[in-house]
Structure 1
Amino acid sequence: MSPLGQCHITNAGQSESYGGELELNYQASDTLNVYGSLGLLQTEFKSFNVGDLNLSGQAFSNAPETTAVLGALWGRETGWFVGGNVQYLGSALSRIETGGERAEMDSYVTIDAQLGYAWDSFAITGYATNLFDETYFTYLSGPEAAAAVGDPREFGVRLTKSF
C-alpha cells in the first residue's frame, strides 16, 4: 500500500481452492440442543506473478485451513434459556504486501455466551461475545508493523420480536 492509501489489484494467473464443511445439530432432549461444525480448506496460487514477485505455491490470504464451532443451547421456546459456543479459527497468511513478505496470523479461540427469557413472540437476551477478551489479528503486515485486531469482548442486551 502506498503512503497515500492507494493499492494495486492484480488477478492471479491460476489458483485452486477446495474444501468442505460438516455441520451437526442434535436435539439431545426437549430442552437441550447441541451443535457443531468443522470446516477444512486448501488453497493455492498455482501461477501468480506480479512483476518480480512470484507467489506461486502459496496459500490465499485470510484462508485458514481449519475452522470449528462447538456449542449448546438449553431452554424451551418460552421461559429461561442459556447457551454458549466455542469457536476456533486456524492460522492464516495475511494479505500480500509490496515486497512479497506475508505474515502468518496465529490461530485463536473465542467463546460467546447468552442468557435470556422468551415469552409469546419476544425474547430478551444478555450476551457476551469474545468473553475472555482474546486478542487476535485480522490483518498483520509483519512484526512490529501495521495490524488490525479482531473484535474485543462485548457485553450487551438484545430485545427480539418475532413476526
Structure 2
Amino acid sequence: MALNALAKVREELLTKTNKLDRLEAEKSEAVQALQIGRSNWEERERKLREQLASVEQRLVDLNSQNSVLHDQIQSFSSQLALQQSLTEDSGNISLNRSLNTSLSEEEMKSTEQLVSVIKYLRKEKDIAYGKFEVIRTENLRLKTQLENAEKQLRTAQDSLKAEAEVTDTSVATSAKHAELLRK
C-alpha cells in the first residue's frame, strides 16, 4: 500500500515536473518572441522616425520655396506696375507699344514659369504631406501591436506564475506525503 502511494506520488511529481518544464519552455519562447517583436518594432519605429523627419524637412523646404515664389510674384507685379506707370508717363506712343509688346512677352514667359513651378511645389507638398500621414498612421499601428504583445506576455507570465505556484505546492505536498509514507 505504501509502495503504491509512493509510486503514485512519484508519478504525480513527475507529471507536475514535466508540466512545469513545459510551462517554463513556453515562457522562454514567449519572452524570446516578445524580444524579437520588440526589436523588430524598434527598428521599424526608428526607420519611421527617420522617414518622418525627412518628410517634415521636405515640408519645411517646400513651404520655404513657396514663400520665395510668393515674394517673387509680388516683386514681379510691382515691377510690372512701375513699368506700366513709366510708359504711361512718357509721351512716346511707339515706344510704349514696343515696350508693352516686349514686356507682355516676357511677362507671359515669366508668369507661365511661375505657374508651373507653383503647381510643381503644390504637388510635392501634397505628396510630402501624404507620406507624413502614412508614416504617422503606421507608427500608431505599430505602437498598438507592441502594447498588445506586451499585454499577452504579461498574461502568459501571470498564468505561468500561478501554475508554478500550484505545481510547487503540489510537489511540496507530494514530497511531504512521500516522506510520511517512508516513516
TM-score normalised by structure 1 residue count = 0.18
Instruction: Answer 1 or 2: which has greater strand percent.
Output: 1
Instruction: Answer 1 or 2: which has greater helix percent.
Output: 2
